[in-house]
């Protein structure tokens, strides 16, 4: 496995392990099995059991195509829908324990998943399948063409230290949270906040701490109620742990 170094917008390097080509192929195969199972069920229920095939025989070509697209549309949008819902994972990726992230360290968004989805359709062409495999095998981030275009990479979550481990904070039983809106952040966001804050605090870089405070306020809509920016960031990290400890 190759190391994937992500440089955040705060110029902090975070190391992940890039998913291998084998892991990505296995996840794609599992997704293929799920989509195939869906197709078989749909065909049996609607086209065979309910006799839709006979009715379609009496329709024109375009009506038939419209019905087929309607029933199999979930297969077409499978990856983009699930990656958007599960923050970079399909069912196959969940089973293999890999996920899509942005190279800048932040959570990928719908636009990124859309670009990957569009290029996935192109890469299914027999020529581009080979090109895609060569691209994954020849760069250290194992990016396919869609990843390169979207600025994303696929990482493995099988590391001994996961994103969840790096954001844990000791909370007393009597701890009272201050900012409920902190749940707008993701595990990845809080991990970056904590890593950036600890490095900036060690280096005495108050400018970075101030920028980090401003970014948190911008993303969450939270206003700093602490006298010190450092205290505000510490509370944000603790509050996130409080609200997500049972998730």
Residue 67 has pLDDT above 80, yes or no: no
Q: How far apart are CA 216 and CA 144, in angstroms?
A: 32
Half-sphere exposure of 7 (CA within 13 A, CB side): 1
d(CA 68, CA 70): 5
| Residue 163 binned pLDDT confidence (cut-offs 50, 70, 90) | very low
Mean pLDDT of 219-247: 86
Instruction: Report residue 3's pLDDT band, with 50, 70 and 90 as the boundaries.
Output: low
69 class by beta-carbon count within 10 Å (0-12 exposed, 13-18 middle, 19+ buried): exposed
Residue ranges of domains in the chain:
3-156, 164-244
This prediction's pTM: 0.57
Q: How large is the average pLDDT for residues 18-27?
A: 89
Of 91-95, 140-144, 222-226, where does mean pLDDT reach its minimum? 140-144
Nearest to 100 by CA among 135, 32, 146: 146
CA dihedral 190, 154, 109, 178 (to 10 degrees): -10
End-to-end CA distance of the chain: 30
Q: Which of 103-112, 134-143, 227-236 has maximum average pLDDT? A: 227-236
Statement: residue 30 has pLDDT above 50: yes
155 pLDDT band (50/70/90 cuts)?
Answer: confident
Q: Could you read off the pLDDT of 173-223 as tens digits, one per residue?
A: 678 888 888 888 888 888 888 888 888 888 888 899 999 999 999 989 999
Cβ-Cβ contacts under 8 Å for 8 (sequence gap 6 or more): 14, 104, 105, 106, 192, 196
Distance CA 11, CA 208 (A): 10
- pLDDT higher than 80, residue 56: no
d(CA 112, CA 88): 10
Taking 90 as the threshold, does the pLDDT of residue 72 lie above it? no
């Amino acid at each position: 496995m190759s190391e994937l170094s992500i440089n955040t917008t705060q110029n902090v390097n975070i190391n992940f392990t890039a998913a291998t080509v084998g892991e990505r192929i296995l996840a794609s195969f599992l997704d293929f099995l799920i989509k195939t199972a869906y197709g078989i069920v749909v065909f049996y229920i609607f086209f065979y059991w309910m006799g839709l095939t006979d009715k379609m025989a009496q329709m024109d070509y375009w009506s038939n195509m419209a019905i087929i697209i309607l029933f199999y549309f979930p297969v077409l949008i499978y990856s983009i829908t699930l990656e958007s819902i599960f923050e970079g994972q399909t069912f196959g990726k969940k089973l293999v324990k890999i996920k899509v992230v942005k190279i800048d360290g932040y959570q990928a968004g719908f636009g990124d998943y859309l670009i990957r989805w569009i290029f996935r359709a192109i890469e299914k062409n027999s020529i581009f399948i080979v090109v895609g495999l060569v691209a994954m095998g020849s760069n250290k981030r194992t990016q396919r063409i869609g990843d390169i275009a979207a600025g994303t990479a696929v990482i493995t979550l099988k590391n001994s230290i996961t994103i969840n481990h790096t954001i844990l904070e000791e909370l007393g039983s009597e701890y009272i949270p201050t900012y409920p809106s902190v749940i707008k952040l993701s595990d990845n966001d809080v991990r970056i906040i904590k890593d950036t804050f600890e490095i900036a605090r060690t280096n005495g870089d108050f400018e970075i701490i101030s920028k980090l405070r401003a970014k948190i306020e911008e993303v969450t809509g939270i206003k700093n109620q602490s006298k010190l920016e450092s205290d505000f960031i510490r509370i944000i990290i603790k509050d996130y742990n409080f609200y997500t400890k049972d998730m």
